[in-house]
Chain A
Amino acid sequence: MRVLAAMSGGVDSAVAAARAVDAGHEVTGVHLALSRNPASYRSGARGCCTLEDARDARRAADVLGIPFYVWDLADRFHADVVQDFVDEYAAGRTPNPCLRCNEKIKFAAVLERALALGFDAVCTGHYARLVDGPHGRELHRAVDPDKDQSYVLGVLTAEQLAHAMFPLGDSLKSEVRAEAAARGLAVADKPDSHDICFVADGDTAGFLARQLGERPATVVDEDGTVLARRKSSFAFTVGQRRGLGLDRPAPDGKPRYVLSIEPVTRTVTVGRRERLRVATIEGTRPRWCGPAPEGVVSCHAQIRAHAEALPARAWVDGDVLTVELEEPAFGVAPGQAVVLYDGSRVIGSATIARTAA
């Protein structure tokens, strides 16, 4: 096959590309320039698509002996991922930009261009497995539970998965690092990237304030009593407990959590943990990694990138996915994805719109 390997400059995508080469594919490396300001250097372990990352990716491609190019997707990335991220926060939701990037950039803009240029597949360093099942290709959790990234791939359709290649799904991260070192890839001990790649300093609230301007928020309790005024409403996520900055303890002495964020009046309501109890989740924009579920299905639902999947029943009605959890969950933030699993297989996902106790 002719394979386009997306190479971020990190260890995972370098080893993924190397394995594609070893498997006998004709591999071409591509670094996606996603930042409008690539002339910035990484600080610490953060960031991506800096000049340094592009150089690391190029070096890895050199070592593998494959052609290497840089594709400028900064405008697409800004429109589809960064702007969406900002808009979602402005609407009081908590988006996951990694899902969005996989859906709109890596397995849309890049994949479509790759197919048009005559490639058969896009290869990435995601930790997930592709398994041929009775209804076609299935997306499964990775073998390494700590690195499993099937959650952020839960937005991919069968058509996208048909042209995806994830060579790392059967490996542990430690094995991938050792393999990179054995292959002489200089990125073998490069730190993992964390957080949001386009928020280079990790200060999401500061980033949003620069994009949207400071929007002072009022923190109230459930009966509307004003508890505090904060400089920015962007520092809050439903379910958050730390960093609320309330000097007066709750009357019952119990910790308080963010219950809701109302973007128009910029009111952040806090209250007891029980009030975060969620039994039913409604999601919009469902995306299915294979056939759409029919009727009510028993499954597991994962509501955050690094959360346990919870036993649930789910059904689809038009464009709305309803998930009923067997045991209530706490701190379900609108804007995040709910990803449904059948064992290790990803059924699909939806964007959390509403929750009910």
Chain B
Amino acid sequence: MSTVYLDHAATTPMLPEAVAAVTAHLPAVGNASSLHASGRAARRVVEESRETIAEALGARPSEVIFTSGGTEADNLAVKGLYWARNAADPRRRRVLVSAVEHHAVLDAAAWLGSSCGAQVEWLPVDSVGRVDVEAVRATIERDPASVALLTVMWANNEVGTVQPVSELAALAREFDIPVHTDAVQAVGQLPVDFASSGVDAMTVTGHKLGGPVGVGALVVRREITLTPLLHGGGQEREVRSGTLDVPAIAGFAAAVRVATQRQPELAARLSQLRDELVERVLAAVPDATLNGDPSFELSRRLPGNAHFSFVGCEGDSLLLLLDARGIECSTGSACSAGVAEPSHVLLAMGQDEARARGSLRFSLGHTSTRSDVEALGEAIGPVVERARAAGLVNAVAGGSG
């Protein structure tokens, strides 16, 4: 059975250029912090990679801080900004967070609230999952001096909604409030330019754009002070410690270079495939509903994202049935011990729990083909029918139990 991979937002296959870069540097010895020739050779790879990534993302090389991936970069941004801003002025206790953030941001902020005295304010979203800039203004204006930071993702990982990040950055600048954005889903699918976006810190990661897992970066403006999460050798601007992973960084840089170069053509191709995917799913299951922004413009929705609710179905039944047919997707929800929780993103968008539970995310990427979309189009009708029967059984049994 051939695999139809429709879960690129979870992780996407490595680009051949990234594989080549990683493998080229695996055999070499050399700690990038060492002063001898081997160390200098390693350092050179790291710094060239930093320059490549900076150039591709519209940043200066000194603004790129390598991390172990998106989760660490998000934690460093949220906690590091809060600690530094709060230390400079203890009145700064408010952390403004969109309600649809990834858990790496969501839970880091919640932890600041439960353990560091932060006052976390969840910024509401509309029914397509977008933060309302005027509502954020009102929230800030209630007491601007008490805001430690604002964090809103570039594009949502579940429903693909693109956030008004530049507008939010412009708004926050009026009050000198630093802005962080998690851009892990955006790079490679949307044009992303750090400098012109106006944000102060931006999370990127390797494995969502064709690089290796376990490497990412926080891009941070030079004038921003961050309190470190990891103490040690101070390798990265004294903000992040740990021996640098030279092969991974080289692979990450190769992937960022290729992904950003090819972004316009990939976005066009994925848009077309996504349109066809949405059309086929809605044709096969007329009462399925598309979640997220109904406008498919790149400024509003990730080109590779299609997210549906199937009334009367459990998302994990759908997943099981599709998996059995070799079609891989995601319920797009958080897992603890593998137990599906209704997605906080869909709940924040005003959906009820039942609809949130019956949702699936299909995400396309650089290896996606028309035959993937066709396979899904053929399978989804019978799968939904079957999952609906199973959902009905449990609803009836639940009522009598």
Contact = CB atoms under 8 A, between A and B. Distances in A.
Interface of A: 28, 31, 33, 38-39, 51, 54, 58, 67, 69-72, 74, 76, 79-80, 104, 108-109, 112-113, 115-118
Given A76-B401, A117-B390, A33 B320 contact: no
Closest 10 CB pairs of A and B: A70-B338, A116-B390, A54-B337, A72-B339, A38-B337, A116-B393, A112-B393, A116-B389, A51-B337, A33-B339
B386 A117 contact: yes
Interface in B346-401: 386-387, 389-390, 392-394, 397-398, 401
B37 interface: no
B317 interface: yes
Contacts of A113: 317, 390, 393-394
A198 to B, nearest CB: 16
Contacts of A39: 336-337
A117 B321 contact: yes
Interface of B, secondary structure class, is helix
A38 B335 CA distance: 12
Contacts of A33: 337-339
A79 B338 CA distance: 22
15 contacts: A33-B339, A38-B339, A39-B336, A54-B337, A69-B338, A70-B337, A72-B340, A74-B339, A79-B401, A80-B401, A104-B401, A116-B393, A117-B317, A117-B390, A118-B321
A39 to B, nearest CB: 7
Given A58-B338, A117-B386, 18 more contacts: A33-B337, A33-B338, A38-B336, A39-B337, A54-B337, A67-B320, A69-B316, A69-B320, A72-B339, A72-B340, A76-B398, A80-B401, A109-B397, A112-B393, A113-B390, A113-B394, A116-B392, A118-B386
B316 to A, nearest CB: 6
Interface residues of B, number: 22
B323 interface: yes
A104 to B, nearest CB: 6
B324 interface: yes
Nearest to A79: B401
A40 B27 CA distance: 43
A67 B316 contact: no
A118 B324 CA distance: 11
A71 B401 contact: no
Contacts of A76: 397-398, 401
Contacts of A79: 401
